[in-house]
Amino acid sequence: MKLTIVEYPDKRLKEKSLVVEKFDQELHSLLDAMYDMMIESNGIGLAAIQVAHPKRVLILNIPDEDGEQPKENLIEIINPVITSKEGVATYQEGCLSVPGFYEEIERFETLSLNYQDRDGNTKTLEADGLLSIAIQHEMDHLEGVLFIDKLSYSRRKKFEKEYKRVQKEKKQR
């Protein structure tokens, strides 16, 4: 399966992703191709809508102490539902769909999650730290929300100006 990353301001990123009902080979191919794309792009998380598949699918691979992302640390999350959340944490977030930009975003510090794995088995997960933040970032994608949508009016305006300038520079090259 050949995938490409959809980049802001592409309107497809605003779509709401659909619940997965079939846990078949097509889903497995999508998950495998998403992993390759995420690693190739130096990402730690990716939602299916970022590769033009509006399904409630996301993957995460938080680097270990040595900065490595072995495939056994990959978490595949389908149809997630947050069942509890607590505290506040901020992190300088980025996104493969908004390349080159990073902004401080406020999230819940810890959360509990129900989800399904690639075979449709129900799972639960407790997360804190970067994993918790990354889950919330990726789950926002399922609702068509980007981290830049969480910025204050003035920070968003500054972002738009800067992003347009960089896009223009990219075109010239």
Residues assigned a catalytic role: 138
Closest CA to 16 of 56, 46, 51: 56
Restricting to residues 89-108, name those near ligand QAP by CB under 6 A.
Answer: 91, 93-96, 99-100
Q: Choose which of 38, 95, 142, 148 interacts with Co ion (CB under 5 A).
A: 95
The angle at the Cα of 89, spanning 87 to 92, to the nearest 5 degrees, equals 165
Q: Choose which of 44, 49, 57, 127 interacts with ligand QAP (CB under 6 A).
A: 44
The reply to whether 151 sits near ligand QAP by the rule CB under 6 A is no
Q: Choose which of 20, 31, 45, 139 interacts with ligand QAP (CB under 6 A).
A: 45
The reply to whether 80 sits near ligand QAP by the rule CB under 6 A is no
Residue 61 tokens, joined: 């691979």
Dump strand ranges (E) for the chain: 45-47, 57-60, 75-86, 89-93, 103-107, 110-116, 122-127
Question: Residue 16 has what DSSP assignment?
Answer: P
In the complex, which residues of this chain contact ligand QAP (CB under 6 A)? 41-45, 91, 93-96, 99-100, 133-134, 137
Chain positions contacting Co ion, by CB under 5 A = 95
